[in-house]
């Protein structure tokens, strides 16, 4: 071989090696980066080139894949009872992406999860159409419907939990929206997307997990727990040294109770919770101090996010408050904030003898052939209190329903414990209060459920809004649905 030909051959060999190196670099090292590039629409087209797997509630799919045979998209997502299940499923849109379970479980639903490789390979070899896997939720269809019907045209949210496992049995937020109206690429979908995002009522906001509210008097459950756990009081019938009215420590500000008929001066803990005495629990919180109050709140989940797998907003019990601020924080006002999920967790821990289980929404993932590829394992979030304290808290909550402000939650033949709350908000507390109710119920067969309800800005006059009137009946309906009563 002469010298010029040898040089050309070597040069060609170098080019081939460079091409091979570049190809392997792109396909190996940079594959994920190119696949996730915002300008790469191929994966988006592929996602709707075959039927998407379903999100399942009570053995029935609440999602569908409709064949549309479009130029770029062959299938489009649709929902059964979309507005009711939107907080559970989220949306999956050809144009606007996805959120909620549709996003977090996309690998299974779209069939791209590595655990579905064998199924996909088999379908390819047999000529079967590729299909996504299913996501089976923990939602109880009857409880979800009861929560949805109970809220009706009210603005608010409901969360129901199984105290023993942490399974989320109901997850409702109103007002809501139909994810199917934004799932396609038509002009109507674009208009729906614009209208939904411009709506001041925020129908796309998952209030159950993503919105925090002042929890009002429902937070007194945390304060009473802290008092027992730290030895400030021993028994539910212990009298408290509480003046009425109560001057917040270090200030001239006088805290009063809601009604002049309440007998809150030196009330027992039980009587104070039955009547929901602000003075009793504000002083209790101040006596404990911010550090003990914060430590107890965090055992219930405050100041932490919860991945259900949809991540909740963090509920807040503040760290840097003056003593008068701690007194107000301890009755669920001032800087204390909570999601409906958080207040359901408080009731669930009390009902489960102090053991707080981590809330979860997905029971299992499975292939299109119904083979289970993952099953949820229950986990303890914390030991929120001792069993002895939990028993005292159960007694207190039962008394609230039997004798106090929560009588609208009574269910014949079922033990029910609850706590009402009416949380002030707005500048100078000028806004209509938020109506709260958090509760649990136990049947004779051992089945139990914990529920939290919040209703925003009710339509009645300010004096007519309370957790007992607005929120407790909704919680009752959900508890009945779960327990079959």
Q: Would you please indicate which residues are annotated as catalytic (active-site) residues?
A: 217
Task: Take residue 97 and report the two structure tokens written for it.
Answer: 């992406």
User: Exposed, middle or buried by CB within 10 Å (0-12, 13-18, 19+), for 114?
Assistant: exposed
For tokens 């002042």, the residue is 214
Could you say which DSSP state residue 52 is in?
Answer: P
Distance between CA atoms of 400 and 419, rounded to whole angstroms?
Answer: 6
Q: Which residue carries 């060609």 as its tokens?
A: 12
HSE-CB of 278 using CA atoms within 13 angstroms? 23
Closest CA to 176 of 285, 88, 300: 88
Number of residues written out for the chain: 485
Q: How far apart are CA 256 and CA 359, in angstroms?
A: 37
**What is the phi-psi region of residue 431: left when phi exceeds 0, alpha when psi lies from -120 to 50, beta otherwise?**
beta
Please state whether the peptide bond connecting residue 245 to the residue before it is cis, i.e. omega within 30 degrees of 0. Answer: yes
Is the distance from CB of 285 to CB of 323 less than 8 angstroms?
A: no
CA dihedral 228, 231, 237, 242 (to 10 degrees): -100
SS3 call for 187:
helix
For residues 196 and 83, give the distance between their C-alpha atoms in angstroms, rounded to a whole number. 13
Residues 6 or more apart whose CB falls under 8 angstroms from that of 243 comprise 265, 279, 283
Give the DSSP letter string of 357-417. EPPBSEEEEE-TT--EEEE----EEEE-S-HHHHHHHHHHHHHHHHHSTTGGG-BTTBEEE
Q: Is residue 39 a contact partner of residue 64, using CB atoms and an 8 Å limit?
A: no
Burial of residue 356 (number of CB atoms within 10 Å: 0-12, 13-18, 19+): buried
> Which residue's structure tokens are 């100078």?
428
């Amino acid at each position: 071989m002469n010298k010029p030909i040898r040089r050309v051959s070597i040069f060609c060999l170098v080019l081939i090696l460079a091409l091979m190196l570049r190809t392997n670099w792109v396909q190996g090292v940079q594959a994920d980066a190119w696949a996730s590039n915002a300008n790469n629409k191929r994966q988006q087209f592929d996602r709707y080139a075959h039927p998407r797997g379903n999100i399942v509630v009570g053995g029935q799919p609440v999602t569908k894949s409709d064949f549309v045979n479009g130029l770029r998209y062959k299938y489009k997502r649709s929902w059964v009872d979309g507005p009711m299940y939107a907080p559970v499923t989220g949306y999956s849109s050809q144009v606007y992406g996805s959120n909620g379970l549709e996003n977090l479980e996309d690998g299974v639903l779209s069939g791209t999860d590595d655990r579905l490789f064998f199924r996909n390979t088999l379908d390819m070899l047999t000529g079967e159409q590729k299909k996504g896997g299913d996501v089976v939720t923990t939602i109880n269809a009857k409880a979800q419907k009861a929560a949805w019907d109970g809220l009706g045209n009210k603005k608010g949210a409901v969360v129901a939990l199984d105290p023993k496992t942490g399974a989320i049995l109901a997850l409702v937020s109103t007002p809501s929206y139909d994810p199917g109206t934004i799932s396609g690429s038509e002009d109507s979908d674009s208009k729906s997307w614009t209208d939904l995002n411009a709506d001041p009522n925020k129908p796309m906001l998952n209030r159950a997990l993503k919105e925090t509210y002042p929890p009002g008097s429902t937070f007194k459950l945390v304060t009473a727990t802290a008092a027992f756990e730290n030895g400030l009081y021993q028994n539910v019938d212990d009298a408290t040294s509480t003046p009425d009215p109560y001057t917040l420590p270090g200030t001239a500000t006088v805290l009063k109770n809601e009604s002049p008929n309440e007998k809150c001066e030196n009330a027992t803990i039980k009587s104070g919770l039955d009547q929901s005495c602000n003075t009793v629990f504000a002083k209790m919180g101040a006596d404990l101090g911010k550090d003990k109050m914060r430590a107890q709140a965090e055992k219930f989940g405050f100041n932490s996010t919860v991945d259900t797998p949809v991540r909740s907003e963090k509920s807040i019990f503040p760290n840097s408050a003056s003593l008068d601020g701690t007194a107000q924080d301890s009755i669920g006002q001032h800087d204390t904030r909570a999601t409906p999920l958080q207040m359901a967790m408080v009731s669930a821990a009390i009902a489960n003898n102090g053991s707080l289980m981590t809330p979860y929404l997905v029971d299992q993932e499975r292939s299109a052939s119904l083979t289970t590829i993952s099953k949820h394992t229950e986990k303890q979030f914390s030991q929120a209190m001792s069993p002895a304290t939990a028993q005292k808290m159960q007694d207190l909550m039962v008394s609230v329903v039997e004798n106090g402000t929560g009588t609208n939650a009574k269910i014949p033949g079922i033990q029910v414990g609850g706590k009402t709350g009416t949380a002030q908000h707005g500048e100078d507390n000028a806004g209509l209060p938020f109506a709260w109710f958090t509760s649990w119920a136990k049947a004779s067969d051992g089945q139990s459920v914990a529920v939290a309800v919040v209703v925003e800005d009710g339509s009645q006059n300010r004096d007519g809004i309370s957790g007992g009137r607005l929120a407790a009946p909704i919680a009752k309906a959900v508890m009945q649905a779960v327990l079959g009563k």
